[in-house]
Each structure stands twice: as structure tokens, then as C-alpha cells.
Amino acid sequence: EIVLTQSPATLSLSPGERATLSCRASQSVSSYLAWYQQKPGQAPRLLIYDASNRATGIPARFSGSGSGTDFTLTISSLEPEDFAVYYCQQRSNWPPKWTFGQGTKVEIK
């Protein structure tokens, strides 16, 4: 079973700063990786799919990179609405399973 490990657990930054979130897979997931944002009391929202493609309506300040086992979500300049929890997710072809990382909380410093 593929395990996703996100780091750091918490990231304390100020608005306007750059955020760099990491997701490491226990074995290669090729580019089958997505990123989600979740705010308190809300459902998650898809940000990035296939490692680097922005979902519909997602601002350009969000970008994803990586392949294989190491992935990064970058928020180029934090807006007040970006403070939230971010999850990475992979899907494996066989056995077909979808797993999430444990999340990274981006909080206001």
C-alpha cells in the first residue's frame, strides 16, 4: 500500500509570502497525484491534478510539480483566503486505491 507523507505538518507564514508544501510517496505514483484545499467547516476543493495541472477556476498562484515519489505544491504569494489545510492524494492503478496524505496546515504567522 502506498503511503503519502506530507511535510511540514504546519507552516506559519504571513500574507504575501511563498508557501512550499511537500508530499512524498512510499513508492512511485508516476504523475497520479492531486492536491486539495480544505477550509474549516467546508468540503475539500481540488486544486491540482496529475501533479501539475490546475483545476478549473484555480488561481495561477497555485502550482504543482514533481513526479515519481516527490511532489511540491507552491503558493507563490499567500492571500488571506489561502490559509487552510492542504492534502495530497494519489491513485494507484492496481490494486485500485486512492489515499490521502495526513495534511499540511498553512496558518497565519
Partner 1 sequence: EVQLVESGGGLVQPGGSLRLSCAASGFTFSSYWMSWVRQAPGKGLEWVANIKQDGSEKYYVDSVKGRFTISRDNAKNSLYLQMNSLRAEDTAVYYCAGGRWFDPWGQGTLVTVSS
* Contact flag: residue 36 with partner 1 (CB under 8 A): yes
| Smallest gap from residue 67 Cβ to partner 1 (A) | 16
Q: Rounded to whole angstroms, how far apart are CA atoms 4 and 15?
A: 28
Q: Is position 61 an interface residue for partner 1 (rule: CB under 8 A)?
A: no
**Per CB under 8 A, does 101 bind partner 1?**
yes
Map residue 25 onto helix, strand or coil. Answer: strand
Count of CB atoms situated within 10 Å of the CB of 11: 19
Rule CB under 8 A: which of 68-97 touch partner 1?
87, 89, 91, 95-97
Task: Report the residue from 34, 75, 78, 106 that binds partner 1 according to the rule CB under 8 A.
Answer: 34
Separation of alpha carbons 21 and 33, rounded Å:
14
Which residues is 104 bridged to in the sheet? 86
* Residue from the set 2, 28, 30, 46 that interacts with partner 1 by CB under 8 A: 46
Spatial distance between the Cα atoms of 96 and 79, rounded to a whole number of angstroms: 36
Contacting residues toward partner 1, per CB under 8 A: 34, 36, 38, 43-46, 49-50, 55, 87, 89, 91, 95-103
